[in-house]
Amino acid sequence: MKIGIIGSMLFFDDMLKMRDKLKKLGHSPYLTSYAKQFVGLSEKEVKQLKAAQKEEDVIREFWDLMQGGDAILVLNYDKGGIKNYIGGNTLLEMSMAYLLKQKIYLLNPVPEIEYYKDEIEAMKPIVIQGDLRNIPTL
């Protein structure tokens, strides 16, 4: 299955690990090409780089990568005091996958985010409870 890995760039190291695990399970995972720039950065540096990348059209770059994909995997770990965090950009990428009729897998349950929990649930994500084996291969 061609599957994009998304989430906060603070989780970049985990994205690389998940990419490797998904490959071993027979999937074809991909990340944004901009992700490489986050290796070894502090939280402050990640925020600065994300702000700079907004000028580079990273949202459209990921949209282009998603074409022909089968699914996305959302790495929704705890962040900023929010359990199973999903940020604004990740929500946008989830909606793009939804519009492309791709499966949306959440590593952890839907976060209790008052402002957009309903929208996340409306996209009918599949919660895999942290186990990549719950994502079927095609």
- For residue 83, CA distances in Å to 34, 73, 109 come to 26, 17, 9
Q: Name the pLDDT band for 43 (thresholds 50, 70, 90).
A: confident
The reported pTM is 0.89
**DSSP per-residue string spanning 1-38:** -EEEEEE-GGGHHHHHHHHHHHHHTT-EEE--GGGGGG
Model pLDDT for residues 95-133, shown as the tens digit of each residue: 999 999 999 999 999 999 988 999 999 999 999 999 999
Going from N- to C-terminal start, the domains of the chain cover 2-132
Please report which helix (H) or strand (E) contains residue 123, including its range.
none
Specify whether domain 2-132 bears CATH 3.40.50.
Answer: yes
